[in-house]
A and B are shown apart, each in its own frame.
Chain A
Amino acid sequence: MSSPAMATHPRPRSIADLRLQRRRRLKRGTLAVVFYAGASALVLVWLIPVMITVFTASKSMSELMSSPFMWAMPETWTSEAFLQAWSRAGMSRYILNSFIITVPSVAGTLAIASLGAFALAFYRFRFNRTVLIIFVAGMLIPFQMLMIPVFRMSDRLGLINTYRGVSLFHIAFQLGFCVYFLRNFLRTLPYSLIEATRIDGARDFTIFARIIMPLALPSLAALAVLEFTWIWNDLLWSLVLLNQNRVMTVTQGLANMQGQFITNYNIIAAGSIIAAIPPLIVFLMFQRFFISGLTLGAEKG
């Protein structure tokens, strides 16, 4: 009649044992309290800037004028600033623009990168490694190196101030990271899987679409989450490729708001929160994927 719980925690034999065990448990309890207190303090201190933003956004203009200390909690919480940011400051438009640019960019880069990753993961050919290195190196280069030529090309092709101009650039540029990431994942799949299907007479594209991609879904999800955040948060390429208010992204709109609503801190704060919410939701919903994507290379030796 021995339960698994008893097997891991043998019954104490003497009073001395019992006393020792109690002391240990007490010590563990104190340690837990120390941990929770320390962790809460750490998180609170680190997130002070975020709290200040929430406080400021929830104040009315009159309260901001009478007590200008932004770190203070609002006396009365209002959503006035959020409504103003949404309509008067044009955040509704910017949010929509960001979605129109980000969603096709993520879908496009994943679709195209999986083609390349499949070739690099499963085929032996002469320049395999060279091609891979080009993709990896490209993902890390300073954007400034691309800025003028991409701007000039987009200008010549009439892609300035168009959603597809920005999306096409994001799709192409993000290929570097996506191809590298997906290829690394695909190489963990057993090669026999492909050989078996090939013996059955399946064509290469069928293997890619029917066998490999369904297996790659978790890593595709990780990539989608990361890419959504990165493309949504991009500022530089919106600055370079978009200059009309009607097509501007949310990051760019926010940067402009600072000049437009200089003293309306509450509206700017509310705008920042609106801009931060979509990537935050994506992160909180898919954090497991998000983190596995970011920690690439940090785990194994």
Chain B
Amino acid sequence: MKRHQPWLTPLKFLVIPLVMYSIWVIAPILQSMVFSLTDRSSILIQQRYVGLANFFRLFGDRTFHLALWNNLQWMIGFIVIPIPIGLAIAMFFNQNYPGTKWFKTAFFIPMTLSYAVIGTIWVWIYHPNFGALNTALRTVGLSEYTRQWLGDPRYMTRALIAVGIWRQVPYVMILYVAGLKNVPTELIEVAMIDGANWLQRFRNVVLPMLRPATVVAMTISIIDSLRAFDIVYVMTNAQPRAAQVLASYMYTSSFQYQDYGYGSAIAVIQFFITLAFILFYVNITLKREEQF
């Protein structure tokens, strides 16, 4: 490190990444904030500053309320279901039997599929007449539970969340598999010698050791649930009100109704909600290492 100009060399390395990042990420964030204060509605017409009018409009917009509520349902669904199931499956797969790896690999396949593919597949599973779900329900004598999964506003969002969960569980599983590698077997053996049963061993030894995995799984799941868009778009074309989340409502407002100012206001709200979790994630991941 040159003593006289300690910032010059790192700057040379950072200049290209920082310039690109500023143009495509940082500047657009600031610009969206400015747009949210305007009534810009198509590319050609001159914009006018309207102050917080877009935000006041949002407070009274029932579709926006619904999108917020649906996002909250996504978030709850993404925390409550994939984390315990992913952990249980990771514990189950945490064996030394030959070939265990292949089961894990197969189980992980949904995570490598794009939402476009996943959405396409699940539209058929939910098909009211011929879909696998309703057919299976009828076969086992639960006909009264068959639904128009993607046609009935009451079940739409939950049906979409289920699809997200199907993809999220393998992800959480793999995080816990990685975390379990760090639980020393000696610790469990000691607990066994001390006479702890499996529940006590799990609660008092394994779970605390898995804390980092749990924190990462939680934060990523929350952020993913707030970004939910592709499933809604592919499976419902982002049209029905009942399926809207913030991301899809922003997309339809901006690109269908060309209401850029209003769309930006939705994005800004989504941004600030997500930011809280992002800062939390940044804090936990960076504070673990020693300060510079």
The reply to whether B278 and A140 form a contact with Cβ atoms under 8 Å apart is yes
Interface residues, chain B, CB within 8 Å of chain A?
1, 6-7, 9-14, 16-18, 20-21, 23-29, 31-32, 35, 43, 89, 92-93, 95, 97, 99-100, 103, 105-110, 112-125, 127, 129-132, 135-136, 166, 169-171, 174-179, 181-182, 209, 211-213, 216-217, 223, 226-227, 229-230, 233-234, 246-247, 250-251, 254-255, 260, 263-264, 266-268, 270-271, 274-275, 277-279, 281-282, 285-286, 288-289, 292
Determine the interface band of chain A, counting residues with CB < 8 A from chain B.
35 or more
The reply to whether A129 and B292 form a contact with Cβ atoms under 8 Å apart is yes
Residues of B within 8 A of A297 (CB): 212, 216, 285
Stretch at the interface among A15-23, A44-52, A74-82: A44-52
**Closest partner residue, chain A, to B277 (CB atom):** A140
A:107-135 near B, CB below 8 Å: 112-113, 115-116, 118-120, 123-126, 128-129, 131-135
Also in contact, A142 and B226, with CB within 8 A (given A125-B10, A291-B178):
yes
Give CA–CA (A279, B270) in the complex, Å.
30
Give CA–CA (A233, B117) in the complex, Å.
9
Also in contact, A144 and B270, with CB within 8 A (given A53-B121, A150-B24):
yes
Query: Which 4 A-B residue pairings sit nearest by Cβ, starting from the closest?
Result: A233-B114, A172-B24, A116-B17, A149-B28
Also in contact, A124 and B292, with CB within 8 A (given A232-B114, A294-B171):
yes
Give CA–CA (A85, B90) in the complex, Å.
37
Whether A43 is near chain B, meaning CB under 8 Å from some CB there, is yes
10 A–B contact pairs at CB < 8 A?
A: A123-B13, A125-B6, A136-B285, A145-B271, A147-B250, A147-B254, A233-B115, A272-B117, A297-B285, A298-B178
Interface residues of A, dominant DSSP: helix
Interface residues of B, dominant DSSP: helix
**Closest partner residue, chain B, to A39 (CB atom):** B103
The reply to whether A35 and B95 form a contact with Cβ atoms under 8 Å apart is yes
Also in contact, A251 and B114, with CB within 8 A (given A39-B93, A204-B9, A272-B120):
yes
Whether A268 is near chain B, meaning CB under 8 Å from some CB there, is yes
The reply to whether B32 and A146 form a contact with Cβ atoms under 8 Å apart is yes
The reply to whether A172 and B174 form a contact with Cβ atoms under 8 Å apart is no
The reply to whether A48 and B174 form a contact with Cβ atoms under 8 Å apart is no
Residues of A within 8 A of B174 (CB): 291, 294-295
Whether A104 is near chain B, meaning CB under 8 Å from some CB there, is no
Minimum distance in angstroms from B165 CB to a CB of chain A: 11
The reply to whether B178 and A235 form a contact with Cβ atoms under 8 Å apart is no
The reply to whether A298 and B21 form a contact with Cβ atoms under 8 Å apart is no
Kindly identify which residue among A204, A235, A279, A301 contacts B211, using a CB–CB cutoff of 8 Å.
A301
Whether A32 is near chain B, meaning CB under 8 Å from some CB there, is yes
Residues of B within 8 A of A147 (CB): 250-251, 254, 263, 267
The reply to whether B282 and A252 form a contact with Cβ atoms under 8 Å apart is no
The reply to whether B247 and A175 form a contact with Cβ atoms under 8 Å apart is no
Residues of A within 8 A of B271 (CB): 141-142, 144-145
Question: When each residue 27-40 of chain A gets 1 if its CB lies under 8 Å from chain B and 0 otherwise, what string results?
Answer: 00000100110111
With a 10 A CB-CB cut-off, give which of B9, B17, B282 has the most chain A CB atoms. B17
**Closest partner residue, chain B, to A208 (CB atom):** B13
Minimum distance in angstroms from B115 CB to a CB of chain A: 6
Question: When each residue 225-236 of chain A gets 1 if its CB lies under 8 Å from chain B and 0 otherwise, what string results?
Answer: 000010011111
The reply to whether B23 and A298 form a contact with Cβ atoms under 8 Å apart is no
**Closest partner residue, chain B, to A259 (CB atom):** B237
Kindly identify which residue among B121, B209, B274 contacts A50, using a CB–CB cutoff of 8 Å.
B121
With a 10 A CB-CB cut-off, give which of B97, B112, B174 has the most chain A CB atoms. B112
Stretch at the interface among A6-14, A63-71, A216-224: A63-71
The reply to whether B267 and A144 form a contact with Cβ atoms under 8 Å apart is yes
Kindly identify which residue among A53, A134, A255 contacts B26, using a CB–CB cutoff of 8 Å.
A134
The reply to whether B32 and A148 form a contact with Cβ atoms under 8 Å apart is yes
**Closest partner residue, chain A, to B250 (CB atom):** A144
Minimum distance in angstroms from A262 CB to a CB of chain B: 11
